[in-house]
A = this chain, B = another copy of it.
């Protein structure tokens, strides 16, 4: 057996005279170290005179390493700025230290991605996790990115949104045991981590507010029917109608996933009809914009002919149309909750403890500043 430059045992082909006088205790100690390269366990092993294994275990605070040794190793590691090589860890253990955010490319329409990414990274910043954004285009391909992640082991945890009552992604992830969290709930009897906005309550409170303003013929701009929060929002809307005695005006042909132009045109028709509502609940902030446009094209005016309550993930409406009563959906906070939940799931916390609902509240008007 001969030794190569850095002390690993070489091939078994004999070469006379190459066996050095090194005793076994220092057999695989690194003999040379690359110069300006980043430090590895080998570097620390060299500096401390310990074996690579020992260093690895010391940094992991393993029970079979002496207290003083651990201290020494930690000190050196810190001094030279050691950071474990992610590829090494990943190859050996399968741990990727990656959280994957799975997005529809179409999701940007709602402008939701941005604060969400910020919220997630705020949490991940304090952890070894990186955020990888994984997109998919067509709705039918929703499973594709999930399969990719499962097949290639691309992430330790996944964040998905736009959940459906029976969501195949949730089924697949659960079956394969990959930790995940959903933005939105499901109804398939699977207990899993989620964060959601309480859309039932939003719609209910919206109806209450509109009725308090004397409005009785209400319309709802709803989510697309296949998403879970469609039924939440509808349920809240209808409960409100019952409790506060108002009537629904039908507007089912249109939903928040339609283009602004479509929403506007459909709403203009409605507002010109005999069936025109006098109160609007808008399930999305951008949808509200289109509704306002349609309303104005029908020569109606907010506050006078009609009042409106809208969900709003941004400040635009409040600034430009203070007449619209808004309930703020804080996507950034949602991102934070989602990140905490996936990590919790990865760490083995029970799913029941990783579920949260954010309660809608009406926003105060913008402060009027200097002089009112």
Contact = CB atoms under 8 A, between A and B. Distances in A.
Contacts of A125: 135, 137
Give the number of times this chain occurs in the complex, counting copies: 2
Nearest to A315: B260
A268 B370 contact: yes
A289 B316 contact: yes
Contacts of A132: 130-133
Contact of A370 (B90, B105, B118, B265): B265
Contacts of A121: 103, 105, 133-135
- Chain A interface residue number, banded: 35 or more
A303 to B, nearest CB: 15
A108 B332 contact: yes
B315 A316 contact: no
Interface string A221-248: 0000000000000000000000000000
Contacts of A9: 11-12
Contacts of A75: none
A87 interface: yes
A369 B154 CA distance: 46
Interface string A56-91: 000000000000000000000000010101111011
Contact of A118 (B131, B135, B260): B135
B290 A153 contact: no
A292 interface: yes
Interface of A: 1, 9, 11-12, 38, 81, 83, 85-88, 90-91, 96, 103, 105, 107-108, 111-115, 117-118, 121-122, 125, 130-135, 137, 151-154, 260-261, 264-265, 268-269, 286, 289-290, 292-293, 297, 314-316, 319-321, 332, 366-371
